[in-house]
Structures are given as C-alpha cells and as structure tokens.
Structure 1
Amino acid sequence: MHDLRKQVLLESGKTLSRKARSKQVTPSSSRANSAAPSGAGSRIPSRNVSDDEGDLSDGTQWSSNSLDELITRDPVDAVDATPEVWIADLHDRMNEVCDRKRSSAQGREDGLVGFIARLTRHYAQAEISRKMDELVPAILKSVKSGQTEKETGLALSALALIVVTDPSETIYDTVCGPIRTVITDGQHPQAKIAGIHSLSVATFYGGATMDETEEVMDFFLDIVSSDGAMIEEADNAQIVTAALEEWGFLATQLDDMEESTEVAMDTFVDQLESSSVGVQVAAGENIALLYEKSHTEVESDDEPEPEDPDAEMEPSNANGPRMVKRYTVYRQQHQLTQALESLAKASSKRLSKRDRKQLHLAFSDILNTVEKPTRGPRYSTARDDEGKEYGSRLKITIPGGAKMTIDKWWKLHRFNGLKRLLRSGFLEHYEQNEVVFDSLPVIVEDE
C-alpha cells in the first residue's frame, strides 16, 4: 500500500519548452500509466446532474451520472465485506457477465451492475487479469449490440474500469473502434456520454500513442465545436460537457500544446456563452489549463535580456520555482477577461442559487489563472504570519485527517477524471492501484 503521507516529487503533466525537449526524450505517459439542450446554439438552460441523481424508476431511463446510486442499490452485502467474500462474489459476477448463452438483457444489466460495484469499491487487478480474455469480448458484445440503453452504458463503464484496473499496451486498439461507433452512430444519448468517458479512459490507460491521443482530443473538440451535432446530438448539454471534460483530462498528458492551443481556445471561448452552467465551467477549466501549460520552469539560459519587455518571469506560487511564459495563449485577452469577469459575477434570475455559486467560485479561479497563469485553482493571495501568500487552498480530505493539495489545474483535471470513473472508490484505488496513484502524484499533508 502506498504511504499517502509521503511527499511525491514526480510532477507529470508539465509543459516543457522546446529546449528542454531537445535535451531529453519523454516517453508517452499513456504507455506508462434524455438530451438536455445547451451549447452556443440553443441557449436553453440545462443543469449538470450530480453523481447521485438520475431517474431509474421505469427501468429504461438510465443515466451515466447515477452509477453511485446503482451501486448503492446493489442488494449483495459482499460489496464491502471481507476480501474472501467480495472476491468470491466478484468471480460469480464475472461468470455472469461472460455467460451470455441464456442470459436476458435484465440479467446482463444486473451482472454488470454487480461487476461495476466490485471494481469500483475494490482494487481487483489480480482477480480480473485471469479472466481478461473472456471478460473483454463478452462486454464488447453488450457495447456493440446491447438490447437497452442501460446495458450498453453499463458495459462501457465496465470497460473503463477494467482498463484502469488492469492496463495493457493493446487494449486501446481492441476497444477504440466499438466505443467510437456507439458515440457516432448509437441511438441513445446516455450511452454516447458513457462512451465519451470510456474512450478517454481507454486512451489514457490503454496504450494509445501520443498521436492517437491527439486524434481522440480532436474528435472531442469537434463534438464541442458542433454543440454535439456531429454525433447527432445537437445542443445536448451533457454530451458537450462530457467531451469538454475528457478533452481536458487527456490534455494533461501533452507536454507542448502551443500548436493546438489557438483552435481549442476559440472553441472554449465560444462555449462560455452556453446556457448550460456545466458546459461553461468545463470550458473555463480547459482555458485555465491551457494558460497554465503556457508557462514552464525557468531554465539556465532563460533569463530575459533587459531590453526584452515581453519576457515574463515570476514565481509559480509562494514557494514554487520561477516560471517563464513560452507562448501567447489567446490574442483577444481583454475580451476574454471581460467574459470571465461577467461569469464570476453572474446574477441572472434564470440561474438557481446553486448554479450562481458554482459559476462565481469556478470563474473567480479561472480569471485568476488567466491573469496570472502560475496560480492554480483556489489560489489565495492572503498572507500568513511570515508574509507569504497561502497559495492554493484546494485540499481534499482523506481518511486519517490528512489533506491532499490540488495546486495545479492539471491535477484538478486528473482528480475530477478519476472521480468520474471511480466515484466512491477513488481513495481505495488511490491507495492500492499504482496506475491511479502515479496519475496524480500530489503532496499529502497532515493537518
């Protein structure tokens, strides 16, 4: 088990200058490790559904946002039982998933719910690795020809959990095609959302090359720029939000985004005008990530000449290294700042109190980063007794009273991506699953 109280010095996800890249070869980190209208088109309000919401009452309406509720409703007590009990139950669930000869759609759904519950709550790499040759083909059959939206969506979620539990160099090649088919040609919006999230996980952990990762990011960007229309889901807020979120998650793997930043920024700035708070926030967080990536640590030969007024160097935070700006992220900075200021102070009556609070909190942070890219989320300029700025105050409480500090936007994107996948089992996987731990190397401090 990892010691969560140790300081992890590895900081992946940083932008490197061309000079730094010329001095070293960086391996691909992926190898290491009911439609709601929105969008710039319709401007009809939509609400981002939380993890524990969703209508499952009629057995046909299924939401990828309600997996926690499904897992909680799972009647088998083995989910949180002793290892001997939950492992035995996991084997039963795997056998149910693999045995399709006389199974019904309802039976396959129940088997997948139980399977997802075990893989979410427990780290079961040793158990599923022995069944991979049977599990993946069986689940792909439900992805390709599921009889219900729920079956297809659950199968996609199960695939993502398999990939993060037992990554391989080849699983991306196996699952990419069927998942993309669901996203582009499927009939069910919620299955497409599950497909977007599943494709992102398969790309990140399944052995995709950097070129393949960038191709998937371009696919997500096309979904966003068309407000979902390119996959026959025009003005679907949940579709656009999912594509934005997973674009940001995958972007944390890329070292240099200078060439792709201009097109991405135009798309994200456009989505700031969406009527969906979820779309606006996801677009804004991607903007903050791109500004963060435009700055890297100062190198020995980076000191600016006195006559160079455009050279920008500053400390990243109260105690961090000095950083230097590598390129311009967005040329219409003044207009962007005005838009972000407006969202940070949004007071429209059409917004609920919860949505206004979410906008104010998110865009205050995003604006802070756009104005000073070395500042991460929840950065506080207040000073302690020694006169130093507190810096990032976004801390995640973990068992035992310790705090996980999320002081960079790339860390926040990865934390949110892993939480979307692992939900209530995040901390269990963070402690036990080396792949998850290496994805989010952070400093954990005792209170």
Structure 2
Amino acid sequence: MHDLRRQALESGKTVSRKARSRVVSTTSSKANSRLNSPAQSRAASRNPSRQGSDDEEYLSDGTAWSTNSIDDILNSDDADVPADAWKQELHTRIEQIVDRKRSSTDGRADSLNAYTHIIMARYAKDDIENCMTELLPSILRSIKSETTEREAVTALKALAATIVTLDSDDIYDSVADTLKRTVSNSESTHTKISAIHAYGTAAFFGGTSEEELEDVMNFFLEIIESDGLSIDAHDEGSVVTAALEEWGLLATGVDDLEEATEAAIEAFVEQLQSSDSGVQVAAGENIALLYEKSYTELEDDEVLSEESDDEEETRHGAKMVKRYNVYRRQDQLLHDLDELANISSRRVSKKDRKTLHSNFADIRNSVEKPTRGPKYSTALDQDTGMTYGGGRMKVKINRNVEVRIDKWWKLQRLNALRRVLQAGFTHHFDENEAVSRCLPFSMLSKR
C-alpha cells in the first residue's frame, strides 16, 4: 500500500482559503481550569452553530482568541517564553482530548481546535506519533458520538491534519468506516462537509490500495450525481462542492482514468448548470483535469502516423499524445464553458461573476488545448519572444524554493493541502515529506 501511495504522490503525469494559524495562548493551568468549568451565561445565550470568521475563533465561554495569539507561543521572541512552549501546549491539549472522563463537550472541542492549529503551524510528527494509541480512538469517538456539531467538526479537522502530519501507510483502515458512516448518516451539513474532506484526505494520504481509492471515488461520484440525495443532503451545494473537490484530489493519484471518465464527465457537465458557483467551479476544474489526464507523454519507442492530430508539444519540448476521447459532445461543452466565462446575468452576484469569469476562461482553454494548465498565457515574453505559457501561478515556499502550479493536478493537490493545513502549508512543505512529495518544486534563480 505504501509503495502505491508513494507512486501516486510522486507521479507527475497525473496531484483555499486565506487563514492564519492560531492557538490558544493560555497556560496549562488556565486551560485545565476552563476545560473543567461550566459554560458561562454568554456562551449559553449564543447560537452554538455560529461559524467563526477568518479572524477569530470562539471558545466555549464566549470569548475569542486573537489571531495574534499564535505568535505568543509559536513565534515569540520574548525571552520568558521557551522555544518549545508550543510542544508543552500541544501535549497539554492531547491529554485533555484523551481524558474524556474529566472533560466537557465544549472543553474537548476547544482542545481539539487548539491541537489542530498547533499541528498545522508546526510539523509535530515526532510529538504526536507516540500518542496515537490513545489519541486516535478519542478523536474518532468525538466523531462517532457527534454530541455537538462543534465537537464533531473540530474532531474531523483534527483528524485530517493528523493524517497529513503522520504520513502513515496504515491509518486509512482505522478511520475509513467511521468517516464514511459520518458522511452518510450525520444530520449536520457542516459535519458532512468536514467528514467528506477528512475521508478524501485519509484515502489519499492514509495508505489505500488502488481498489479502495476507486471505491471512495465512486462514493463521492454518487453524491455528485444525486445532488447530495445519496447522503440525505439533497441540493446542499456545499456538500456537492466538497465531494467534487475530494474526487478531484483522488483522481490525481490514478494513472489511467479512461475507465472512470465516461460516468464522471457526464456528472460534472451536468453540475455546470448548478445555481451554486462553488459547485460550478469545482465541476469545471475536474473537467479540465480529465482532459489533462487524457494526454500522456509520447513513449521513446512510439511512432505516430503523420496524419495524426492528437499530438501536442509542451513548452519544454515534451510530446504529449491524446490517448482517448473525454467527452463526445465537446462542441456543446465548449459553448457552455464560453457562457460561464462571459456570464453577465444580474441574477448572479458581482463576486460570483468575477469568480466564474476568471476560472472558466482557464478551464475552457484547457478543454480546447489539454496540455495547457491553469493560468496559461499566450502573451509574448519581450525578452525571449516566446509565450509565457503555464506556470504563472506560483507559491513561494522560501527564498530558494517555489511551487509552480502549471497543471490541474497540481492545483487540485495544492487546494486540498491548503484546506487541511491552511496557512501552515508552506511550513509543512519545508519539513513534511508527505507534502513536498505531493507537489514538485523548482529552485528560484538568483539575480
């Protein structure tokens, strides 16, 4: 299983929101005090399903920790703050998560939240690996029991971040049944969404066989085809979007998608008619991925007939050959993509129009020319006289390394990692082999 997963992650042929990592900066004694104390009246009067903004995270007592709090523990230059203070805080949080008898539901949610933010902001594999015998069952219990939506959602996010951190080839078997059952049976939309993302993360990073990977993809495809009805979330756009995103992530790990393409493309094309822009964009990106995957490099001993129109040359000189047809009504598809790329209806918000315009211009370009990835530019470089081509989308990791997102499979993987790690993505890329293996990087030229 490990070899299969490693091949999928390393394969170059075929694999977010802005947020800051944050943790509670309270001392261990204060954390324990809050964990064991009853919720204050302010918390009781507040809607428990309130979703925190990108700038704050609400705790069970109704207070919020500041986004600056992470600096107090993770990045403090204060001589009074030990360099490994975050490790002490992490272990305190793990103890609180595991000790269920002495914790409240809100307290566990607080600790799960803080634990997640710490392991997103720091690569803590060595610190959590020896705790997994007790930690994993406790996280899964919070998911299974689903005492509150908040505890279940924070546990699912904690699990996803843990899976990426551990880079284990056997964790999938331990979590798959719980995650699939939660996706299918939870009565909370937010819990279903988090469970879908955690399930996709487990399937991609947690050590699956090729057959298991395909089973999970088929499960997500059923959600997409039924508009969420297959998991009792009919017409919930955010649920369908999550399933589309995770299907796309898993598809990047499959070398040959020809067999899966026919059913998938029909479902994705149908979702282009959705009234939800998130669904439309996620479906469009999967369509572009399917077209990209239908081309592979020309083999050294392969000879094409002179009449063949199924060959394209990339900017770096590699010959790419079309292996199969993706969609039988491509002219109609291009027409639909054109409409989305130029949509002007006032029934669509200005923000959504802008999103659709920018994304579907790229998606249409790739359907017409599948070797062109996202943000491909036909403009000429004045210095070289050549087109800029792909690679305009870049993520700078540090002074010397950047990731060029010039393929749709790279964009799918980048988005998935950012969903799990948020602002901690670049830190994990530097230190976590599971992340750097997932996306090839290039060295920055020195000026």
Which category describes the TM-score, using the shorter chain as reference length? 0.7 to 0.9
Answer whether contact 1:30 1:205 (CA < 8 A) is retained. Answer: no
Aligned equivalents of 1:132, 1:31: Cα separation in 2: 26
- State the partner residue of 1:249: 249
Counterpart of 1:438 in 2: which secondary structure? helix
Q: 1:251 to 1:165 in 2, by over 3 A?
A: same
Q: 1:186 to 1:170 in 2, by over 3 A?
A: same
- Superposed CA offset, 1:64-122 (max 9, x none): x9677439836673244454110111110111111101211111111111101111111
Say which structure, 1 or 2, has more relative contact order (CA 8 Å, 6+ apart).
1
Answer whether contact 1:31 1:208 (CA < 8 A) is retained. Answer: no
- State the partner residue of 1:288: 288
- State the partner residue of 1:437: 436
Aligned equivalents of 1:349, 1:240: Cα separation in 2: 24
- State the partner residue of 2:57: 70
- State the partner residue of 2:369: 372
Shift of 1:127: 0.2
Shift of 1:395: 1.7
Counterpart of 2:233 in 1: which secondary structure? coil
Shift of 1:394: 1.2
Aligned equivalents of 2:289, 2:55: Cα separation in 1: 28
Aligned equivalents of 1:67, 1:178: Cα separation in 2: 29
Counterpart of 1:130 in 2: which secondary structure? helix
Q: 1:148 to 1:174 in 2, by over 3 A?
A: same
Answer whether contact 1:383 1:389 (CA < 8 A) is retained. Answer: yes
Does structure 1 residue 358 correspond to structure 2 residue 355? yes
- Superposed CA offset, 1:252-306 (max 9, x none): 0000000110100000000000001100000000000000000011112332223
Gap runs ≥5 in structure 2? 10-15, 21-42, 59-63, 77-81
Shift of 1:399: 4.1
Q: 1:315 to 1:96 in 2, by over 3 A?
A: same
Aligned equivalents of 1:412, 1:206: Cα separation in 2: 20
Answer whether contact 1:404 1:445 (CA < 8 A) is retained. Answer: no
- State the partner residue of 2:124: 124
Counterpart of 1:222 in 2: which secondary structure? helix
- State the partner residue of 1:13: none
- State the partner residue of 1:326: 323
- State the partner residue of 2:30: none
Answer whether contact 1:68 1:423 (CA < 8 A) is retained. Answer: no
Matched to 2:321, the amino acid is V
Answer whether contact 1:80 1:86 (CA < 8 A) is retained. Answer: no
Does structure 1 residue 93 correspond to structure 2 residue 88? no
Shift of 1:231: 0.6
Does structure 1 residue 214 correspond to structure 2 residue 214? yes
Matched to 2:65, the amino acid is R
Shift of 1:402: 5.9
- State the partner residue of 2:388: 390
- Give the 5 Å matches for 1:47-446: 58-61=46-49, 63=51, 69-70=56-57, 73=65, 77-81=72-76, 83-306=83-306, 308-309=307-308, 311-316=309-314, 318-384=315-381, 385-392=383-390, 393-400=392-399, 403-446=402-445
- Superposed CA offset, 1:33-74 (max 9, x none): 6xxxxxxxxxxxxxxx95669xx99352155x9677439836
Aligned equivalents of 1:394, 1:371: Cα separation in 2: 20
Aligned equivalents of 1:303, 1:376: Cα separation in 2: 26
Aligned equivalents of 1:407, 1:217: Cα separation in 2: 24
- State the partner residue of 1:15: none
Answer whether contact 1:30 1:206 (CA < 8 A) is retained. Answer: no
Shift of 1:353: 2.0
Q: 1:426 to 1:69 in 2, by over 3 A?
A: farther
Counterpart of 1:400 in 2: which secondary structure? coil
Matched to 2:160, the amino acid is A
Shift of 1:403: 4.2
Counterpart of 2:102 in 1: which secondary structure? coil
Does structure 1 residue 28 correspond to structure 2 residue 26? no
The number of equivalent residue pairs is 401
Answer whether contact 2:397 2:429 (CA < 8 A) is retained. Answer: no
Counterpart of 1:338 in 2: which secondary structure? helix
Answer whether contact 1:244 1:282 (CA < 8 A) is retained. Answer: yes
Counterpart of 2:198 in 1: which secondary structure? helix
Counterpart of 1:73 in 2: which secondary structure? strand
Q: 1:126 to 1:181 in 2, by over 3 A?
A: same
